[in-house]
Amino acid sequence: MKRILIAVFCLLLLATALIAAGNRGIGPVVITREGTQQIILRFGDVINETKPGLSWRVPLLDDVKTYERRLLYLNTEQDVIQTKDQERIVVDNYAMWKIDDLTAFISAFPKGMQQAERQMDRVVRAGVREIVARHTLSEVLTDRRSEIMEAIRKRVADSFSDTGIAVHDVRINRTELPTAIEENVHARMKTDRDRLARKYRAEGEEQARKIRAGADRDAQVIVATARGEAQIHRGEGDAESTRIYAAAYGKAPEFYAFTRSLEAYRKTIGEGTTVILSPDSEFFQFFVGSDVATKAR
């Protein structure tokens, strides 16, 4: 029993030593953690691409290389690029990528991450320079920025399609004009905007003149139509008035003459008005024999 306990203890001690050696990257045990990936090489040839957990290797013969399994970020060098409309801009961009096939990656980049990052920097900068040069400054800054970024990402991804690298995104960090030409560009942009403003104002004034002319013409037609209708209604009213007067005269001619005279008096003789007429004037015929007629004499 004692020998068994000693054997178990020795095995545990050996296992602990192997794990400790694996943590230090030595010994036959290879420990692969989550978020990393490892590959075992023997004289430069791939023996095994490990998975998370424990793996084995032959000490002194096998070499183990460890790489990130997660997305990697590469901020490339800024570059001065000339756009399609001959504007020079300073572009600073970055790439998001990951090692998708470790065996292919080791084959394409035997010197490791530094070699891959240098290649990524060159390809991304070349792609940005080529795609941006096909578009105007306005398209790069606003109109078609997303489309341009996707075209750059696809070009870079195609360049690394056989290297075990998956390119997830390429983005522009910063886009600005070189200091030497910034003022000239701003002045030219202001001139262009002023020209467009004058053009739009002229077009607006032309449309306003057309609208005013149309409105004046419609107003004249409406007024003329209204006046015509008013004349018609006035004539109809006069005719109806004449008919009513005639009917009233036929029924009571003396009363009609009396009321018409009173209406004439009301319109002619106002307050403080002096009228000199012959007492026998027909104008005062209804006053004859009255107090007013007597006073008038």
Tell me: the pLDDT tens digits for 158-182? 999 889 899 999 888 777 766 656 6
Confirm whether pTM is higher than 0.85. Answer: no
| Structural domains of the chain ordered from first start | 2-68 (no CATH), 72-176 (3.30.479.30), 265-296 (no CATH)
Output the pLDDT for position 148: 86
Q: In whole numbers, what is the pLDDT of the chain averaged over residues?
A: 77
Tokens of 162: 């056989």
pLDDT beyond 70 at 16: no
